[in-house]
A and B are shown apart, each in its own frame.
Chain A
Amino acid sequence: MAIAASGMQNDLARLELISQNVANAATAGYKRQIPVNQAFAGQVDQLLAQPQVTSLQPRSSVIDPMAAPVRASGGSYDLAIEGDGFLEIATPEGVRYTRHGALHLDSSGRLLGAQDMPVMGLSGEMRLANAAFEISPTGEIKQEGRLVGMLKLVHFDKPEQLQPAGNGLYSAGADASAEVVSSAKFRVGYLEQSNVNLPREMVSMTETVRHFEAMQRIFQGRDESLEKAIRKLGEF
């Protein structure tokens, strides 16, 4: 019964991830979340090792770092990253990473990312004159033909382990190593879409609901057999 119950708990958590993905099917730069289930053998070992753990809760999630299709946005400050890599954003909570490349300037001329927080160049924050600027496909920021900065693109060996921080931002764990990409390539005038695939989400949703139903039946069946056993025992 405990196994059926934890299976159902698991399905609820899985549905939560699916709903998050479906809700963000149109969010630029969003990366799909994938539930990760631990292998059953591992769970059994874990239960044997720690008898006090009564339920199986091997729930964890990772992001799907697969690049999403890009779409022409027409904005001259919009950019999509070609290949893998993330832009670095300086937030009050520390460095975060994003694939959402809608850049703009604030009134003091700081170059900001889509989240209204400074985007980092190879030599830190970028300050520009408060006027129009151009972005080259290699990440050079130019103002009136003069090079004013270079966008910094970082690469992770295991991008799937980045932790979502909301607003298209991801934070790297302590042990993640971020290396600067030397040959960055951008597509200016395009934005990366969400990599959520609605039909796939619908399929896994159906799967989850049916799995939940199966678990519910198991629970009911077990309940019925217990009831029968008690009745039979009562007859003696």
Chain B
Amino acid sequence: MNESLYIAATGMNTQQKSVETIANNLANVNTPAFKKGKVSFEDMVYAAREGNVAGTLQGPAWHGGGVGVFSLIKDFAPAELKKTDQPMDLAVRGEGFIEVMDGDGITAFSRGGALTVDKDGMLATADGHVLKANIHVGLDAKEIQIAADGRVLVRNGDRTELAEAGRIELVRFADMSGLTALGSGLYRPTERSGDAIYGRAGEEGMGTFAQGYSEGSNVQLIDEMVNLMAAQRAYESNVKVIQAADEMLAMSNNLRK
């Protein structure tokens, strides 16, 4: 049977995946701290067919198996920081993640966002994940200041001066693109990303904290639209190949009228 049909079908499948990734990126163009997905392809196995006939030919013909999705990774290019003037908005300027508890004692990593104080007086993300740094600010905190180096200063109750409640550390990875996204802005390390490397904000290539800022999405509308068009046209080309293969099969059925 004609392989072309199946090869072109793999082409359509992968372009479909590409469009799905673009759709997800476009849908999150306004999601704070969203990191865009990137899909990459690989050409699939080859088989040599119709080898040399008595040493007269240059070489065998290499028949490929089409194309497959090789990896779907996140692009952690930093996005613009937007000033919100909300004291509970925390963003990381530059490289680095904040470690948070993700239930069951497992930690996950976040690029920041809106913080809250949970029912025990602990500093947590808006989704209720307590920061790994275990910073107790108390339920009567009137003012919270987070310095660029991660020190958290709190003014409780009727006090007039700020007291240090703890320090948030930053974390980075040898290969950020290997992190798996858990959704709602949380990531977990994988074999590929390597283990978390802890450090202080502002030191050894780590970013710094920016209180009162929120990180935008790093999706570039124009890039996505261009990629969408390219994927759509590539999909169309594969459709044309299928049509051509079909036409040729129909013709061979018509060999005997």
Interface set of A (CB-CB < 8 Å, partner B): 8, 11-13, 15-20, 22-28, 30, 33, 35-36, 38, 42, 46, 49-50, 53, 57-62, 74-75, 77, 102, 104-107, 109, 114-116, 130-133, 161, 163-168, 173, 198, 201-202, 205-206, 208-209, 212-213, 216, 219-220, 223
Contacts and interface: CB of A to CB of B under 8 A. Distances in A.
Contact of B18 (A26, A33, A198): A26
A30 B8 contact: no
A164 B44 CA distance: 9
Contacts of A49: 54
Contacts of B4: 12, 15-16, 18-19
B241 A209 contact: no
6 contacts: A23-B11, A25-B11, A60-B59, A61-B59, A102-B40, A198-B237
B104 interface: no
Nearest to A56: B53
B178 A216 contact: no
B248 A19 contact: no
Contact-size category for B? 35 or more
B57 A58 contact: yes
B49 to A, nearest CB: 8
B175 A105 contact: yes
B3 A60 contact: no
A128 to B, nearest CB: 8
Q: Which of A13, A50, A206 has the most CB of B within 10 A?
A: A13
Contact of B66 (A20, A38, A58, A164): A20
A10 B110 CA distance: 56
B46 A166 contact: yes
Contact of A130 (B5, B43, B194): B194
A166 B14 CA distance: 16
B58 A216 contact: no
Contacts of B2: 12, 15-16
Interface string B211-241: 0000000000000000000110110011011
Interface string B74-117: 01010000000000000000000000000000000000000000
Given A26-B231, A27-B43, 20 more contacts: A15-B244, A24-B11, A26-B230, A27-B41, A35-B61, A46-B53, A49-B54, A50-B54, A60-B50, A60-B60, A61-B61, A62-B59, A77-B175, A107-B191, A107-B195, A130-B194, A165-B46, A168-B42, A209-B244, A209-B247
Contacts of A220: 254-255, 257
B248 A164 contact: no
B192 interface: yes
A27 B58 CA distance: 27
